[in-house]
Amino acid sequence: MTNKIRFLLLALLCLSWTIQAQNCQSPITATASGITCNDNGTQLDSLDDTFAFFLMVTGDSTSWSIEPDSTLYSYDTTFSFTGFPISGGPLTLVIINTSDSLCTDTVVVTPPPPCSVPPPACSTPITAGIDSILCNDNGTPLDSLDDTYTFLLTVTGAATTWSIAGDSLIFLYDTTYLAGPLPISAGAFDLIVVDNDNMACSDTIGITPPGPCSSPAAVCQTPISATVDSIMCSDNGTPLDSLDDTFTFMITVTGGANSWSVAGDSLVFQYDTTYLAGPFPINVGPTDLVLVDNDDMACTDTVSIIPPGPCSVPPMCQTPITADFANILCNDNGTPLDSLDDTYTLDLTVSGGTTTWSIAGDTLMFPYDTAATVGPFQISAGPLSLAIVDNADSLCMDTVMVTPPPPCSVPPNACDVKEIGCMKYELLGVAVDSAQRKTYTIMVTNNCSNKMIYAAFQVPDGVVAKSPDNDAMYSAPSGREYLVRNPNFSPMYSIRFKSVADSIADGQSDVFEYTLPAQVDPDYILVVTRVAPKIFYQAHLNTFGCKDSTSQIVSNGPTIPGPKAGTNTNTGPNPDPNAPVPADPNGTFAVYPNPTVGGQVMIDIFGWTDQQLELQLFSPKGELLKTVTLLSTGFMQPFELPTGLDAGIYWLKLIPANGKPVVQQLVIQW
Distance, CA of 342 to CA of 377 (rounded, Å): 9
Q: Rounded CA gap, 621 and 344, in Å?
A: 19
Task: Tell me the range of 5-9, 196-200, 370-374 where mean pLDDT is highest.
Answer: 370-374
Return all residues near 384 (Cβ < 8 A) that are at least 6 apart: 377, 401, 402, 404
* pLDDT surpassing 50 at residue 81: yes
Give strand pairing partners of 246: 234, 281
* Contact (CB, 8 A) for 380 and 620: no
Q: Is the pLDDT of residue 536 over 60?
A: yes
- pTM metric for this prediction: 0.29
pLDDT one-digit tens code per residue, 298-342: 899 999 999 998 988 877 888 899 999 999 999 988 766 567 778
The confidence band for 118, taking pLDDT boundaries of 50, 70 and 90, is confident
Q: pLDDT tens digits, residue range 261-290?
A: 999 888 999 999 999 998 999 998 998 999
Give DSSP secondary structure letters for 454-472.
EEEEE--TT---SBSPTT-
Q: What is the mean pLDDT of residues 456-466?
A: 94
End-to-end CA distance of the chain: 112
Residue ranges of domains in the chain: 29-109, 127-207, 225-305, 322-402, 416-546, 588-668
Question: Across-strand partners of 446?
Answer: 423, 508
Q: Is the peptide bond before 411 cis (omega within 30 degrees of 0)?
A: no
Could you check whether 416-546 and 588-668 share the same CATH topology?
A: yes
Q: Under DSSP, is residue 9 helix (H, G, I), strand (E, B) or coil?
A: helix
Confidence at residue 335, expressed as pLDDT on a 0 to 100 scale: 62
Contact predicate 391/365, CB 8 Å = yes
The Cα-based distances of 7 to 21, 248, 256, 280, 543 in angstroms read 21, 124, 126, 120, 89
The model's confidence at residue 547, banded by pLDDT at 50, 70 and 90, is low
Q: Which residues pair with 227 in a beta bridge?
A: 252
How far is Cα 154 from Cα 131, in angstroms, rounded to an integer? 9
pLDDT at 55: 94
More confident residue, 472 or 296: 472
In angstroms, the CA 244 to CA 306 distance is 16
- Percent of the chain whose predicted confidence (pLDDT) is above 70: 88
Cα angle at 142 between 137 and 147, to 5 degrees? 25
Helix or strand run (H / E) with residue 558: none
ω before 279 within 30° of 0 (cis)? yes
Contact 341, 333 (CB under 8 A): yes
Question: pLDDT tens digits for 476-491?
Answer: 877 899 999 999 998 8
Q: What is the 3-state secondary structure (H, E, C) of 325-391?
A: EEEEEEECCCCCCCHHHCEEEEEEEEECCCCEEEECCCCCCEECCCCEEEEEEEHHHCCEEEEEEEC
Average pLDDT, the chain: 85
For the chain, the helix, strand and coil percentages under 3-state DSSP, each to the nearest 5: 5, 45, 45
Say whether the peptide bond before residue 216 is cis (omega within 30 degrees of 0): no
Question: Using 50, 70 and 90 to split pLDDT, how confident is the model at 564?
Answer: very low
Q: State the average pLDDT over residues 514-537.
A: 94
- DSSP lists the bridge partners of residue 32 as 55
DSSP symbol at 4: H
Cα separation, 473 vs 670, whole angstroms: 16
Question: Cα(265)–Cα(283) distance, rounded to whole angstroms?
Answer: 23
Closest CA to 639 of 659, 670, 664: 664
Q: At a CB cut-off of 8 Å and minimum separation 6, what does 363 contact?
A: none
For residues 116 and 44, the answer to whether their CB atoms sit within 8 Å is: yes
User: CA-CA distances (angstroms) from residue 16 to 2, 13, 114, 267?
Assistant: 21, 5, 52, 117
Is 550 a residue whose pLDDT tops 60?
no
Work out whether strand 397-402 and strand 384-390 pair parallel, antiparallel, or are unpaired.
antiparallel
15-19, 226-230, 306-310, 587-591, range with the lowest pLDDT:
15-19
Residues 6+ apart with CB under 8 A from 559: none
pLDDT at 479: 82
351 forms bridges with which residues in the sheet? 322
384, 377 contact by CB (below 8 A): yes
In CATH, which superfamily holds the domain spanning 588-668?
Macroglobulin (MG2) domain (2.60.40.1930)
What does the chain come to in residues?
Answer: 670
Q: Is residue 652 packed enough to be buried (19+ CB in 10 Å), middle (13-18) or exposed (0-12)?
A: buried
The edge-to-edge listing of strands for the beta sheet with 372-378 is 322-331, 343-351, 372-378
Give residues with Cβ within 8 angstroms of 659, minimum separation 6: 562, 563, 564, 565, 566, 583, 584, 587, 608
Task: For residue 439, give the nearest of 413, 465, 412 by alpha carbon.
Answer: 465
**In which order are the strands placed within the sheet that holds 600-606?**
588-592, 600-606, 637-640
- 252 neighbors 227 (Cβ within 8 angstroms): yes
**What is each CA distance from 244 to 8, 234, 241, 280, 288, in whole angstroms?**
120, 9, 7, 10, 20
Place domain 416-546 in its CATH homologous superfamily. Answer: Diphtheria toxin, receptor-binding domain (2.60.40.700)
Report the largest interatomic distance among the alpha carbons of the chain, rounded to a whole angstrom.
Answer: 150
Do residues 486 and 503 lie in contact, with contact meaning Cβ atoms separated by under 8 Å?
no
Q: What is the pLDDT of residues 567-616, one digit of tens each?
A: 333 333 344 433 333 444 456 778 878 888 788 888 877 667 677 888 89
For residue 244, the SS3 value is: helix
Among 9-18, 79-88, 109-118, 331-340, the least confident range: 9-18
Closest CA to 455 of 517, 506, 514: 514
Omega within 30 of 0 (cis) for the link into 491: yes
